[in-house]
Structure 1
Amino acid sequence: MDEWILGEKFNTVYPHHGSIQSLWEKKWKSCRGVKDCYSESYTEAFLSTAENLSSEAELAEKRGDSETAVRLGFRSACVFRISRFPHLGPQDAGLKRHAFERQKEIYLRTGALMKCPIDAKFIQFSHRLDQEGLEIPVLQRLPLGHGDRPHPVILIMTGLDGYLTDNTALTDRLIQRGWAVVLCEIPGTADCPTDPKDVSSPDRLWSSVIEWIKEQACFDPDRIVAWGLSAGGFYAARIAFTHAGQLLGAVAQGAGTHYFLSPEWLSRADGHEYPCSVTEALASKYGFDSVEELISQGQEKFSLVLSGITKLPSCRLLLINGEDDGLCPIEDSMELADQVSGRELIIVKNRMHMGNPDAQPQVIKWLTELLD
């Protein structure tokens, strides 16, 4: 790329990098001198606070104070979430896995107390290969009064570090519109059963999930829309082509599609707005053994543009991101928009990765026009 839209920021190392201490001072405050997000000492620093909040939530639930139990339970889950930051893969163990298991336990206990409960479901991975897991974990939320008719479904594809248990506020907004929500983790993250090294694994994943959705009486099989968040945006862009006939539309928010895996971009991405080394997380997520392998092989293997998938017919596709995104360049959304007929592109000025908070209301407006 001769000149990135990010401009001089492309070569800038943002001031919170270098150590957790500088990150905390610039964004979070001081954090006990811990210097590596990937270390267990980082995770350990949060656990006592998370457990204390969980205990307080349980006490509130026992005395019948559901409102306080929900508030404290979700706070506990949030602290556990940041403790296992920035990335957890299906095969990862250790303290971060422990934190994630505790987060799931507390999140589901808390979600069951809500007026519109958060329900865990396990879908048969009907299109799995032999080396892949048997079940696909998803979360489901239905709007109030869901028994009267089938509802449109928003299939949320989660991100690199935000998983099933990290999207309560978003699902609140969606069910308030009368839409059902199904959340699913993407290959190489959390509990996703797919082989992250296999380029075609997401296609088998989504085929299994969509088949399950169409079997449920509470969902309208003719009004399914995929919404990919951050790293999930890659899969929302992909599914718009691979499953075009089964979707009413797709939203790729903050999506990397081609340039984000180029050696040139990856050489500078660790210095941008992500609080830790994003290349280390991406290498693990895409099934590479090292950052060096990601840099040398990632784009050729996973680029949607080089794969030829973008030459297939697509469903309606909204591409939206912040113009100043330092993780997935806005050029990725622009490149895909140039290649896809009927595509819609929104560039959010003066915003970084994903374009929030300005982007989300625009996506919901687009969904409303599509579904209602």
Structure 2
Amino acid sequence: MAAPGGKFFIQEKLKTPAKHHESYEQLWETKWKKPAEMGVYPFMFGTASDFDPVVKELVSKNFKEPYNWDEYAKVYFPQAEHLKSIAEAAEKAGEKEKASEYYLRSSAIYRISRFPAPRSDVQREAWKLGKEVCIKGLGMRPHPVKEVMIPHVHRKEDEGEHIPVYHLVPEGASKDKPVPTVIIFTGLDGYRTELSVWMEGWRRVGVATIVLEIPGTGDCPAAASDPTSPDRLYSSLFDWIDSQQSLDNKKTAIWAFSTGGYYAMRVAHTHANRLAGVVALGGGCHYMFEKEWLDNVNHLEYPFDLANTLAYKWGYGDDVEAFKKEAMDKFSLLNDGTLDTPECARLLLVNGTEDEIFPIDDYYLALQHGAPKEARFVTGIKHMGEPASFFIIIKWLYKLFGIEADIVKQMQTLPFKPKY
């Protein structure tokens, strides 16, 4: 660990359980109610009132850890289907704006149903249905988001043939006037359906966006358990960008969220010559796999069983103990030499100093290896250091691309405010 005495920077907090792990009722009241009312992560496109009937039923049935994921997920379906039916009726009546809103509100319910990862049959169905209503809602907006199936030309035989991404290009982009691109790497639980919330804000400042999932999550075709699979994945992605005349491949940046930060740090080294800049927000690279850390994270900041969800994401299924035993040797960017690679794209590391999901120790470690990097830590704030971190990152990306715009106006596109 990076702190003096071989300890984590938040060592004294590792043994203190968060109240939201006591029950779903405490999860809602102490952690989720406020962001639901604000329409922000993880409730993008959602409203607190939409969740009221779901919350009431989960509380009345005293849901608590360990969750039966099928039984948990089922509770959300009637409300998601109800909102979808309103959207369908509005669409049939030609009320496009209303239909779009209600499809997206339905997607928010399906999202929390499959959250944090579709590990059960019902959660997998929620993921499938949530995708369907989300892209319908996004596709009905004045500036529709499109789903693109990018050929995974560098794949191995056991990997998927296509990379599903959400894509939005500003009007006027062309071969003669190509635009910069921000590629958004999603996290452990927020997929392209959620992180699409950032796309409209970037469009307004003349930047194209591509949103895709990281290995082991969503529909990512890369092998979850293969440490080298992201290298092939991103080679295929960059090759496709090179073929798009409306995108300036000399102005490609990555903004990775949470677990996606691990992949951002890797790709900044493996594909340095194809990137103008990389931002790793709230990620990790080495100590995130430390057994002592993983032994404690299930009762800390994350809303559910973080170690189990990470084990599932990295291809271990339910074998959490095997993940804890093997992950550092297999996936550490220090142990595999990535951090000491001499070439690295311009890389900005941002996180909150009190992060209880991935230790801030990993960013201190990264600064001590390989090429120089940039860093900005938000003091006294937990995972990802938001919302202050968003302003730090957007300002950095504006400068990278030579953009002059009002960051506040871009941030105002994030919270969901229902009209109907």
Q: CA deviation at 1:185?
A: 0.9
Q: What SS class does the counterpart of residue 167 from structure 1 fall into?
A: helix
In the TM superposition, residue 18 of structure 1 has moved relative to its aligned partner by: 3.4
Distance 2:288 2:26 in 1: 26
Matched, 1:318 2:348: yes
CA offsets per residue over residues 128-185 of structure 1, 9 Å max, x none? 1111111111110112333462111111111111111012321122222211001111
Contact 2:179 2:208 in 1 (8 A): yes
Q: AA paired with 1:194? A: A
Counterpart in 1 of 2:334?
A: 305
Correspondence for 1:131: 158
Cα pair 1:86 1:276 within 8 Å, conserved: yes
Alpha-carbon distance in structure 2 between the residues aligned to 1:145 and 1:41: 48
What is the aligned-residue RMSD (CA, Å)? 1.6
* CA distance in 2 between partners of 1:178 and 1:215 (Å): 19
| 13, 20, 23: which one aligns with 1:19 | 23
SS for the counterpart of 1:102 is helix
Where does 1:1-372 land on structure 2 (aligned, <5 Å)? 1=1, 2-28=6-32, 31-32=58-59, 33-35=62-64, 36-37=66-67, 39-88=69-118, 94-147=121-174, 149-289=177-317, 290-312=319-341, 313-372=343-402
Contact 2:350/2:389 (8 A) holds in 1: yes
Cα distance in 1 for residues equivalent to 2:206 and 2:331:
36
Q: Secondary structure at the match of 2:19?
A: coil
For 1:75, give the aligned amino acid. Answer: R
Query: Secondary structure at the residue paired with 1:346?
Result: strand
For residues 186 and 38 of structure 1, the distance between their equivalents in structure 2, rounded to whole angstroms, comes to 25
Q: Aligned to 1:196, what secondary structure does the other structure show?
A: coil
Would you say how many aligned residue pairs link Structure 1 and Structure 2? 369
The SS at the match of 1:152 is strand
Q: Percent identity?
A: 38
Q: 5+ unaligned residues in a row in structure 1: which ranges?
A: none
Q: CA deviation at 1:285?
A: 0.7
Contact 2:340 2:371 in 1 (8 A): no
- Please report how far the alpha carbon of residue 3 of structure 1 lies from its aligned counterpart in structure 2 after TM superposition: 2.8
Range that drifts further, 96-105 or 31-40: 31-40
The aligned amino acid for 1:320 is V
Verify the 8 A CA contact 1:196 1:285 in the aligned structure 2.
yes
- Return closer, same or farther for 1:168/1:183 CA change in 2, 3 Å cut-off: closer
TM-score where L is the length of structure 1:
0.95
Structure 2 length-normalised TM: 0.85
Q: CA deviation at 1:93?
A: 6.0
Tell me if structure 2 keeps the 8 A contact 1:86–1:161. yes
**Unaligned 5+ runs, structure 2:** 33-54, 403-420
How far, CA to CA, are the matches of 2:290 and 2:89 in structure 1? 51
In structure 2, C-alpha distance between the alignment counterparts of 1:292 and 1:58, rounded to whole Å = 46
Residue 300 of structure 1, CA deviation: 1.1
Amino acid at match of 1:20: Y
